[in-house]
Amino acid sequence: MTGRGLSLPLLLNRARERAPGPAAGALGGAVAAGLGLGVCAVVVMVLWISSPYPDSGPGAALHTAAALWLIAHGAEIVRTDTLSGTPAPMGLTPLLLLVLPAWLVHRAARDAAEDTRAAGVWGGAVLGYLLVGAAAAAYAGGGEMRPSWVSCGAHLALVATVAAGTGVWTAHGRPHGPLPGPLRRTADVLPRVFVAEVLPVAARAAAAGLLVLVAGGALVMAVGLVWHGGDVRESFVRVTGAWSGRFAVLLLCVALVPNAVLWGAAYALGPGVVLGAGQTAGPLGSSGSALLPAFPLLAAVPDGPGTPLTWAVALVPVTAAATVAWFVTGAGEAAGWTRGRVLGAVAVAAGLCGVAMACLAVASGGALGVAALSAFGPVGWLTGAAAAGWVVAVGMPVALTVRWWRGRDAVVGPRVSAWATALRTRRRREKEEAPARTPVAVPDAGADAGFEPFDYYFDEASRGEYFDEASRGERWTFLRDASAPAPAAATEPPAGPPPPDPANEPGRADGSDPADRP
C-alpha cells in the first residue's frame, strides 16, 4: 500500500455502497469465509514452521488448514493416513473453533444489511460464504484429511444461514414480527393460554436450568483437572517432546474446553460419557477397560467404581431442577396460577431443557474412527432424558413446596396485619378519649448581660496560704459554728387574764365581803 492507496476495509465499504443488497451480502460472506481460512492457515503454518521435524511440505500444511476450517463448522473429515490403512472418519468438533466463522458471518451480514433489504443481503451472504466454502472443501480433498461432501454442505449451510440471519436481524434493530407460517399454524392449534403465558415462562425457566447445568459441568471439569493434576501433567509431557507439538496440544485442549464442560454436565446427570473402546465413565463408576490415549483432558476422567465424591455431582442436576421450579413458581405467583398450571409449566420446562441438553450433547461429541471409536462423547438422547427426568422428579416437589410456603406467608400476613391494625385503632381511640392537655409555655430564662462565667483557680502565690494548717483549722471552726443549732431566743411568759375587780363581783354591790354576812 502506498501513501495514496486505500486500505482494505475502506475498499470493502466502498464496494458495498456501490453494489446492491444481494451483491453486498455476497461480498461480505466471501470476505468472512476468506478471513476464517486465513486465520486457520496462519496458525497451521506457524506450527509447521516451528516444528523440528516436519514430515510434509507447505502444501500439506495448507490442506490441513482448509480441513481445520471445515472442522470448525462441524463438518466430518475422513482421515486416510491411518496405521491400518482403513479410512477413519473424524466428526468431533472443537466447539470453540465454531465461534470464529459464526462471528465473521454475523458481522459481515450485519454491516451489509444497513439501509438495505434484509432478504437480499441475507441470501447474498449465505451464497457468498458457501461458494468460498465449496472451494475450500475441494482444495482440502487433495490432502490426507478429505471432507465428506454431504456433511460439509449441511454444516456450512447451517452455520452461514443462522449467523447471517442473526446479523441481518441485528442490523434492523432486532424487530419482533409475526411467526413464520408453519410455526404460526402450530401456535394456532395450541391453547391460547399455553402459548401466551405458560410457554414463555417455561422457556425462561428451562434456559435458567440449562445455564446451571452448564456451569455445574464446568465445575465438575475443573475439579477433575485439579484432582488428577499429576496425571494431566504427565500425559501432556508424554504426547510429544517438542515445544511446538506441546503448544499445538495446548491449543487443541483450549478449543475442546466447551466440549469438556458439556461432558461434565452429562457426567453429573448420570448417563456419563462414552470414551470409545467400550468404556463409559459415569458417577456410579467406569465400565470397560481403560484404553484411553495420553491426552490431558482424558486424563482427568475418573476411573474405577463410584465413590462419595463422584456421587456428589448429583447436586448439579438437583440445583438445576430447583432453579427451574423457582422461576416457574415466581411467575405463577405473579400471574395467579393454579397448582396444576404450575406443575404443567414445570413439565414443559423439563421437556425444553431435555431437548436443549440433548442437542448440546450431540454437538459436543462425534466419531473418532470406526467400530469402537464411532461414538465418542455423551449419548444425546440419554443425556436429554436424564435432564428432563431430573427436572420433573426434583422440580415438581420443589415447586409445590415453594408455592405452599409463599401461600402460607400470604395467609399469615393478613392476619398479622389485621391484628396490628386493631391495636393501632384502639390506641388511637384511647388518645382521643383522654383529656387534652394544654401546653404550658416555659419562660425563657434570658441571659444576664453582666454575667461572666468563671472558674476557681489558684495561683502559685496563694496556693500555700490556702492549704496550710492555720487556714485549715479556721475553715473547720467556721463550718462547725455554722452547723451548730442557733440558741432559742428568750421569750416572756404569756400574759394571763387580768384579776377581777371586787367591785364588780356579784354580791358585793356595797363592797363588803360576802363571807362577812350573816
* 243-262: b (≥16 Cβ within 10 Å) or e: ebbeebbeeebebbebbbbb
Question: In 3D, which of 254, 244, 243 has the Cα closest to residue 296?
Answer: 254
- C-alpha dihedral (300, 306, 310, 315), degrees to nearest 10: 150
Which residues are registered as beta bridge partners of 376?
366
Strands (E), 3-154: 77-79, 88-90, 145-147
pLDDT at 120: 82
pLDDT at position 406 is 79
| Beta-carbon contacts of residue 517 (< 8 Å; ≥ 6 apart) | none
Please give the torsion angle defined by the CA atoms of residues 45, 51, 57 and 63, in that order, rounded to the nearest 10 degrees: -40
For the chain, the 3-state helix, strand and coil shares in percent, each to the nearest 5, are: 65, 5, 30
Q: Confirm if 376 and 274 have CB atoms less than 8 A apart.
A: yes
Q: What is the DSSP letter of 264?
A: H
Q: Which of 90, 65, 46, 97 is nearest to 245 (CA)?
A: 46
Q: What are phi and psi of 145, to 5 degrees?
A: -110, 95
Element at 320 (helix H, strand E)? helix 315-335
Nearest to 375 by CA among 388, 387, 364: 364
Q: How far apart are CA 46 and CA 36, in angstroms?
A: 16
DSSP string, 152-178: HHHHHHHHHHHHHHHHHHHHTT----P
Contact of 378 with 409, CB cutoff 8 Å = no
Query: CA-CA distance, 212 to 411, in Å (whole number)?
Result: 33
* Gap between the Cα atoms of 462 and 459, Å rounded: 6
Q: How many CA atoms lie within 13 A of 466 on its CB side?
A: 8
Give residue 425's pLDDT: 74
pLDDT (0 to 100) of residue 444: 53
Residue ranges per structural domain of the chain? 9-174
Q: Are 147 and 73 in contact (CB under 8 A)?
A: no
Q: Which three cell numbers stand for residue 85?
A: 490403512
Give the position of cell 465413590.
307
CB 389 within 8 A of CB 314: no
pLDDT in tens, 201-233: 999 999 999 999 999 999 999 999 999 888 888
Reported as half-sphere exposure (CB side, CA atoms, 13 A), residue 418 has a value of 6
Q: Are 8 and 143 in contact (CB under 8 A)?
A: no
- Cα separation, 422 vs 428, in Å, equals 10
Q: Is 141 exposed, middle or buried (0-12, 13-18, 19+ CB in 10 A)?
A: middle
CB within 8 Å of 68: residues ≥ 6 apart: 40, 43, 44, 97
The values of phi and psi at residue 147, to 5°, are: -80, 155
How big is the chain, counted in residues?
518
Q: Measuring CA to CA, which residue among 340, 346, 348 is closest to residue 325? A: 346
What Cα–Cα distance (Å) separates residue 411 from each residue in 221, 223, 408, 442?
Answer: 45, 45, 5, 52
- The single-letter DSSP state of residue 301 is S
Q: Report CA-CA distances (Å) from 147 to 79, 83, 381, 475.
A: 9, 19, 27, 120
Q: CA–CA separation, 377 vs 368, rounded Å? A: 10
**What's the pLDDT score for residue 7?**
54
Q: Which residues of the chain have pLDDT under 70?
A: 1-20, 114-116, 177, 179-181, 183, 277, 288-291, 408-420, 434-471, 484-518
Identity at 456, one-letter amino acid code: Y
pLDDT of residue 431: 72
With vertex at residue 327, the alpha carbon angle to CA 183 and CA 364, rounded to the nearest 5 degrees, is 65
Are the C-beta atoms of 272 and 283 separated by less than 8 Å?
A: yes
